[in-house]
Each structure stands twice: as structure tokens, then as C-alpha cells.
Amino acid sequence: MAVLLDLPSELLLDILSLVRSTLSFSARLQKSTYWALSLTSKRLNVLANPFLYHEYVNLDVRIGFAPFANTIVNRADLAAHVKRLALRGVEEPVNNADLETIQRLADAEDLPHALATVSEVHHRQEAVAFFLIVALSSKVECLHVESRDLHRVPWFILNLVLQKALGEIPRQFGRLRNVDFNGGGRHGMIDIINASGFLRLPSLETFQLRNGGPNRTDPSEWKCPARTSSVTTIKLQECLLSCDLFIRLIRSTKAVKNLVYINTTQWTSRTPAPYLWEHRGSLESIHWSAEHLSKQTSLISNEKGSMRDFQKLHTLIWDQYLLGAPSEWSDRIEVRLVDHLPSSLVTLVLKSCDPAIIKHLDRLTNADPTWLPNLKTVTVRIAGLRRGIVSHDTAGDDLRKIAERFASKNVHMSFTLPLS
């Protein structure tokens, strides 16, 4: 210390600076080494247990996946991490004899041996798929099954789990929150009556059905009693349903918050829209698409009430919003959407619109500012312009002026026109 004190002040400062830098570098090196070892340890764990951090398992049963199935069944610690299971390519249903074998083996304690036996079933890949669903049923939160022959697939799953005593259902699918069934095309539609058994699951929040088709059983066999389902989100896409089946679906739930109804055709001239009015106190978002004008306008206003009654609705997305020819814009046509929007609305999206929407939006910008106090975003996509009636330039100018008036009310509007 005495020697250091005898050194010139400039040199002493340089030495102190070097010591400080060395200590700082040592600390950073120690910290970096710690994190490097930690990351290496995690990487080694991933290499040793390739499915340890895989919460989402996406399998195509047309490709051999027996090794993975064996891994899941043999390693309960790995299976415990699987939360989302997607099975695709299930093309043929399991016959009744094979189903009984799977059901018996699924209750066995020796799962590895049971899986080996299941693999010998005639439709081996489909059998392993069903067995994998059962093996993970108590852990999976999201289940997606895509099949070309899906009208029978849910029936077998129901036989495995949902036709047991109601008290056993939480034990089988106690964490399942989302089911997503896709029939894969018009020739492989799922029977919504068979799938309706999943609505009984107490934990289920979202019920999604794509390519749902004609009911192959008596509608009276609907498997979920009215007002008993906890499902809050219903998504129907590319389905072919009778109005009666839609009514049964919507009435099965206690309170629907989110509804997606896209390209879903009704067998009859009846429209399902009035029955949504029963959930006017809970619906928060609607994505609506209907093929016929009458079924579009029935959501706006019908014999039971108006869309203004949906006082919690904050998001409305409307596909293929068609209002008819300009000659039909007269006041006697009570189908103007803007006259029936609820005050709670925040986001309005209109896709594939008829040019007539321009006049309706103009009416909306001139309305009393207290009418829609919460509106923040308007998005409009016009599908086509009628030659000789509305030109591309005219429509663009009109929409820009409307957007400016919206902006003065703190509402952001964006629009898209077709190529001229």
C-alpha cells in the first residue's frame, strides 16, 4: 500500500482503473458462464427428452407415428406436458369389433402393452389415434381432429368416454377447453348430433365445427340438454345444418359470448338469427356470413328484436354484406345495418360489400355522436363496382370523405376497393 501511495497520481489512477475493469470483466464472465451452463443444461434436457417442452403435438396419422405414441405412453412425465393435440388424416372409421378392443385396452394399467396390442388392430393408424386421444384425455386442453370420414369419428370417441356416467366425464376430459372438428370437405361431413356430446364437458369453452353436415340420426337424440353447456364460443364454418339443429346448439349453452357463422347453409328457408336474440345479454362478438339477403337482414332486425338489443356486442364482422341494387335504398327498406347498431359497438368490419354500403356509411357519419359513443374502428372491403352506376374514382372519393368525417369523431376508417 505504501508503494502505491508513492506512485505518481496519474499512474495510480491508471492502475485503479485497470483493477476495476478486471473485476468488472470477471463478474461478467462469471455471470455469462453461469447462463451458458444453464442454457446447456436446458439444451441437454431437450435432447434427452425431445417432447419435454412440446405442449402442441401435431400428427398426421397417414405417416407412421408409432414411435411417438410409444414415447407418450411409456413416459408419463412427457405426456403430462401435452396440452394441444391435433390429429389429421383419419380417413377410415374403426369398426365396432376394433372399437371394443380399444375401449377395453384403454382402461388397462399396462399402457405400453396395450398400445402394442392396439397396433395390431385392422385399421392400425386410426386405432392408435383414438388410443392416443384416450391416453391424453385427462391432460389435453385443445383437441383438433381432421378427417374425411368425420361423421363417424366423434361417435366412436363418444362411445369411449362421453357415454359413461356423467360423473366420470371430468376425469376423462377434465381440462379440455377447445374442440375443433374438421370433416375435410363436403363429402366427409361430421354429424353435429354425434359431436354435441362434447358440449356436456364442464371445462369446454370453445366448440368449433368445420364441414359439419346432415344429421344421420334423429334430432331428438341431441346429447346436450338445454342451458347446461359452459361453452362461450361457437364457430361454424362451411356447414350444412337445419335451422332446428342450430337452435338446439345455441340453446344448449348457458351464455354465448362469441359466435362465428361463416358460409353455413340452412336446409330450410327459416333463419337462425332470431334465436341469437336469446343471448343478447352475453354476446360480445359476432362474425356473420349468410348466403341469402333475407338471412342477412334477419340478424339486423327480426320479429323478436333488433341488433340494438345486444348491449354487450363490441365487435361485428360481416362477410358478403349485400344490400341490393341502388333502387332499393329507399326508406321503406328496413334493412339498414347502421340503424340498428348497438351503442356498445367498438369495431365494425364489413367484407365483400355491395357499393350500396357507401350511402349507409355516409348516413352513419351524419348520425348523432351519442349514438355510437364507443365506436373506434371501421373497416370496409367493397367486392365489386357496378359498371355504369358507381365508378372506381367516385367510390374512392366518397369513401375518403367519409373517412375524414369519421376521423373528426376519433373513429379510424380503412377501406379497400377492387382493382379498376
* Average pLDDT, integer, range 247-266: 89
What is the band of 136 on the pLDDT scale with cuts at 50, 70, 90?
A: confident
The more confidently predicted of residues 338 and 206 is 206
CA pair distance 342, 331, nearest whole angstrom: 20
CA pair distance 224, 229, nearest whole angstrom: 7
Is residue 336 within 8 Å of residue 363, measured between CB atoms?
A: yes
pLDDT tens digit sequence for 337-384: 777 899 999 999 998 887 778 888 888 888 777 888 999 999 998 876
Please choose, from the candidates 151, 132, 138, the residue with its C-alpha nearest in 3D space to the C-alpha of residue 87. 132
Provide the greatest CA pair distance for the chain.
104
- Decide: helix, strand or coil at residue 66: helix
pLDDT of residue 121: 59
Cβ count within 10 A of residue 366 = 9
pLDDT tens digit sequence for 384-411: 665 544 566 778 889 999 999 999 999 9
pLDDT of residue 196: 84
pTM of the predicted model as reported, rounded to 2 decimal places: 0.77
Per the structure block, which three cell numbers stand in for 3? 508503494
CA pair distance 52, 82, nearest whole angstrom: 9
What is the band of 313 on the pLDDT scale with cuts at 50, 70, 90?
A: very high
Domain residues of the chain, as ranges? 55-138
Helix (H) or strand (E) holding 245: helix 243-252
pLDDT of residue 319: 85
Residue with cell 377410415: 92
pLDDT of residue 85: 83
CA pair distance 181, 155, nearest whole angstrom: 12
Q: Per-residue pLDDT for 166 more than 60?
A: no
Per the structure block, which three cell numbers stand in for 321? 354484406
* Average pLDDT, integer, range 25-42: 43
pLDDT of residue 23: 57
Compute the mean pLDDT over every residue in the chain, rounded to the nearest whole number.
73
